[in-house]
Amino acid sequence: MGRTKKSAAGGAWVSREGTSSRLSPTLEIYDTTLRDGAQAEDVSFSVDDKVLIVQKLDDLGVHYIEGGWPGANPKDIEFFRIMKTTPLKHAKVVAFGSTRKASNRVQKDPNIEGLLRAETDTITLFGKSWGLHVTDALGITLAKNLEIIGDSIAYLRSKGRYVFYDAEHFFDGYKANPDYALQTLRRAIEAGAERVILCDTNGGTMPWEIKEICEIVKGEYTVPLGIHAHNDTEMAVANSLVAVEAGIVQVQGTINGIGERCGNANLCSILPNLELKMTRPALGNRRLARLREVSGFVSEIANLMPSKHQPYVGDSAFAHKGGVHIHAVQKNPATYEHIVPGLVGNRQRMLVSDYAGRSGLLGKAEEYGIRLSKDNVKLKQLLETLKELENQGYQFEGAEGSFELLMRKAVGRHKPSFELLGFRVIVEKREAGQAPISEATVTVRVGEAVEHTAAVGAGPVNALDHALRKALEKFYPQLREVTLLDYKVRVLAASRGTASKVRVLIESGDHKEKWGTVGVSENIMEASWQALADSIEYKLLQDGR
């Protein structure tokens, strides 16, 4: 199993390779999305979800993936059973659990038995480093806690497992009683822990404290150290990076920073910061370019809306809105972009708004395959139209489908697929205890044909959507592929009460892409119609190219 090395504290640890991996320039990335991330509010992963995420993380190049706590719930037991026969190219799946209970012999502790049954090569075991938790939470003596740490790790090592020891609440424990906190690490190292992970479990430690304490621990012990930071003070990423500067080898975190309370250290920020800003190899082999894809995949599986403004991987990370910014970026992206977006799998975007100048609109036109000169009169007219529409309440940043249609109409490059002749929506509540009934009637012209249809739905907008599709699908069968993914209403002038204008933003999609459309009116049904009609027109435009 490799040579035994003595620590500065007199203990011993065994390296998998036979030498201290802290001498290696390559960092270890340890993902805990499936365990710590799953403890976030509104997040729940099925067993199948977890397997899919493991495969994505493996492709990304993560070294260790914490799969869950096999002694805590049946779902995690099933996950580890499946992973025994699921091949991975790069990552190692790790089982997570606690040291034995004070009342149990280690050989008979159910949690320890569950960890062994998971049959992972590596086990991450957490124990108490803060005296407050030992005496108040566990209700045992400080000496008993040391005994529990030591025999739990030693027993797992005797069964051939590699053990990473998570020193829970280490930084709070160190600040309260540094001698005892270091004793807990010493006992773990003496028992054979291969890695000791310093945990800022409450997320309240500042970067300068992290750096100082990590340097002290590194000076005491030769065992490779890790960092596990929580984000309760918005410092988890910073704390992880300064820990690396102090000599930490293993960095733990979650995709998109999901986790209990305010979340964990965000690997989607840590990884590019390590590789692109600190020139510290982490994933290698240009795998960083898959980061945005993995970020979006985890958000989708977790059923969470991705944060547009997330650094590196968010939709807005390299989006430019101001005319001055757009003009400069078109000349040289480095003027307003700190990295090349493609390095993390993202892309540059030019937003369309009344802040945009001619350069911005020319850039968007080129995206749509429309070539215009700067002095083209239609470009000036389009800019004036755009500013007037935004003054009325339109917003095209999340509705580029509507904007492309607007631009094509302005330059005479769009032929409508259908014409609205009229619609009517009826909402009727027949009895107090029953849900209202919504029915929509639509009349449209397609070429020389006039189609008149009616449909019911779960609410007036849904009924209108059904009626429009019913009218058009006989002419355009591909509309059956379209799904309405999101529907948002924003009141624009609340001071006018129920007479206020509203903006409706709709996100639609098919098997190939997603697109946004917008409508604005004092009448919510009219605004919804505008967005729905644009959604259909955009789909047909894409299919006709």
List the domains of the chain with CATH numbers: 4-13+24-302 (3.20.20.70), 419-543 (3.30.160.270)
Cβ atoms of 202 and 264 closer than 8 Å: no
Number of neighbouring beta carbons within 10 Å of residue 18:
11
514: left (phi over 0), alpha (psi -120 to 50) or beta: beta
User: Do the Cβ atoms of 171 and 203 come closer than 8 Å?
Assistant: no
How confident is the model at residue 411, as a pLDDT? 79
Helices in 139-223 by DSSP H: which ranges? 142-158, 170-176, 178-190, 207-220
Which pLDDT score is estimated for 403?
A: 85
Beta strand ranges found along 184-301 (DSSP E) = 195-200, 225-229, 250-253
pLDDT at site 6? 35
Our CA dihedral for 213, 215, 221, 227, rounded to 10 degrees, sits at 70
Single-letter residue type at 487:
Y
Q: How many CA atoms lie within 13 A of 453 on its CB side?
A: 20
Q: State in Å, rounded, how far the first CA of the chain is from the last one.
A: 62
Residue found under tokens 């002749």: 421
User: The pTM is what?
Assistant: 0.71
| 446 in Cβ contact with 475 (< 8 Å) | yes
Each residue's pLDDT, cut to its tens digit, for the chain (545 residues) gives 333 333 333 333 333 333 333 334 479 999 999 999 999 999 999 999 999 999 999 999 999 999 999 977 788 999 999 999 999 999 999 999 999 999 999 999 999 999 999 999 999 999 999 999 999 989 999 999 999 999 999 999 999 999 999 999 999 999 999 999 999 999 999 999 999 999 999 999 999 999 999 999 999 999 999 999 999 999 999 999 999 999 999 999 999 999 999 999 999 999 999 999 999 989 977 899 999 999 988 988 888 878 989 999 998 899 887 768 877 887 888 999 999 999 999 988 776 654 555 666 777 777 777 777 777 787 778 777 877 887 788 877 678 888 888 888 887 888 889 999 999 999 998 888 888 999 999 999 999 999 999 999 989 999 999 999 999 999 999 999 998 888 888 887 655 666 678 889 899 988 888 898 999 999 999 999 999 999 999 999 887 75
